[in-house]
Structure 1
Amino acid sequence: MKNHSFYQFILTVRGRKDAKGELAEEIFDDLSFPKQEKDFNQLSDYVETHGNFTVSMAVFDDLYEEYQEWLKF
């Protein structure tokens, strides 16, 4: 099982031509994004309150689920 942060996973999503890829680009461009964080609640709170993200929280939720699966391999 991998021990990577959500941000490290996001780097693998960049370049996708969908809403997940768009959110990944926005996270990448956000210099204050918590790059070492793994906790869903901390990340969700940040995306909801600190970021200037244009994608819905449902996309973030889907990405976090994908992150959880990615950690397994």
Structure 2
Amino acid sequence: MKDHSFYQYVMTVRGQNDEKGILAEEIFNDLAFPKQEKDFNALSDYIETAGNYSVSLSVFDSMYEDYQEWLQF
């Protein structure tokens, strides 16, 4: 099982031609993004309140589920 932050997972999604890829690029460009964070609630709160993201929060929810699966392998 991997021990990586959500940000590290996001970097594997950059470049995809879909909403997840767009969100990944926006997270990459957000210099204040909590890069070491793993907790869903902390990340969700940040994206909802501090971030200026163009995609819906449901895209983040889906990416976080993917992240949890990614940690298993």
> What is the TM-score normalised by the length of structure 1?
1.00
Q: Once superposed, which parts of structure 1, at least 4 consecutive aligned residues long, lie more than 6 Å away?
A: none
Alignment of 1:44-63 (within 5 A): 44-63=44-63
- The 2-side partners of 1:46 and 1:6 are apart by 13
- The 2-side partners of 1:33 and 1:21 are apart by 16
Tell me by how many angstroms 1:52 deviates. Answer: 0.4
What RMSD, in angstroms, separates the aligned Cα atoms of the two structures? 0.2
* Aligned residue number for residue 42 of structure 1: 42
Query: Which runs of no fewer than 5 residues in structure 2 stay unpaired?
Result: none
Letter of the structure 2 residue corresponding to residue 56 of structure 1 = S
Letter of the structure 1 residue corresponding to residue 70 of structure 2 = W
Secondary structure class of the residue paired with 1:23: helix
Query: Which runs of no fewer than 5 residues in structure 1 stay unpaired?
Result: none
